Amino acid sequence: MNMLEKVGRYEFLAEPFHCDFSKRLFMGHLGNHMLNAADFHAAHRGFGMTYLNPLHKTWVLSRLAIEMEKMPPQYSIFYVETWVEGVMKFFTNRNFRVVDADDENKVYGYGRSIWALIDTDSRQPQNIMYVRDGDIMNYVETDKECPIAGLSRVRMGKEAQLVASMPTHYSDVDVNGHINSVKYIEHVLDLFGLDIYRDYCIKRFDIAYVAESYYGDILNYYKETVSDSVFCVRITRTAPDSSGEIEVCRCKIEFVKN
């Protein structure tokens, strides 16, 4: 296999119906573009899901942070750049940069993520070095800057209040058969009213995934106010055949005044 560049660059369009009332891209759609860029990058270099799935393996997102100066405006063309910053036994660190297609100096923001390689049958972690004899190490890029803070575990106290519960639906389920990673982001941002988004924009969104959830589960959202502009949300799942709750993920949302 011929070696490709370590950094992948993928073009996207801020389609009007993927934008909110401010005519800028929804955070959820940007998250999807980042995950698509990660998939394209891995697939083109021989360690993507098209290669892994027949081996009963897949990548799952463990943590994600998106930090933006501005969201791309409606109709704008932009690039999502992505690269693998580091590889551990079961996990990879992958970064992102979002930049305007016409102006290299117009950087919209950055992202950091951690991905786990798992067995699709047992759902247990798998050694990444066993995939193509560790060929992924040839694509580790440590020199490209990602100037945002590292990923957060999102610590929460016991005072978080239940603010919503909602069932999962067909459109929540992704190619791995569990609830789509980005759907949690969209649901969490829906916990805040339109007035918040008139006065504030999202500066940073952290999400740490703890467990998977599935079609038919009820998702419960617990919100904690850290300050006037910082909030944490814990999501739990209640399975159809159980009354107990299992923590699925934790999020931290930082707003900044427009």
Helix (H) or strand (E) holding 185, with range, is: helix 181-189
Tell me the pLDDT tens digit for each residue of 74-102: 999 999 999 999 999 999 999 999 999 99
Tell me the pLDDT tens digit for each residue of 208-221: 999 999 999 999 99
Give the chain's domain count: 2
Residues 6+ apart with CB under 8 A from 104: none
Overall pTM surpassing 0.85 (yes/no): yes
For residue 60, the domain's CATH number is: 3.10.129.10
Alpha carbons 118 and 121: distance in angstroms, whole number = 9
Share of the chain above pLDDT 70, in %: 100
Same-domain check for residues 108 and 25: yes
Helix (H) or strand (E) holding 183, with range, is: helix 181-189
Share of the chain above pLDDT 90, in %: 93
Q: Residue 168 — pLDDT band, cuts 50, 70, 90?
A: very high
Question: For residue 154, is it within any domain?
Answer: no
97 lies in which domain range?
A: 8-139
Phi-psi region of 247 (alpha: psi -120 to 50; beta: other; left: phi over 0): beta
Alpha carbons 243 and 252: distance in angstroms, whole number = 27
Is-contact 222 238, C-beta < 8 A?
no
Phi-psi region of 241 (alpha: psi -120 to 50; beta: other; left: phi over 0): alpha
Indicate whether 188 pLDDT > 60. Answer: yes
Tell me the pLDDT tens digit for each residue of 20-34: 999 999 999 999 999
Q: Residue 158 — pLDDT band, cuts 50, 70, 90?
A: confident
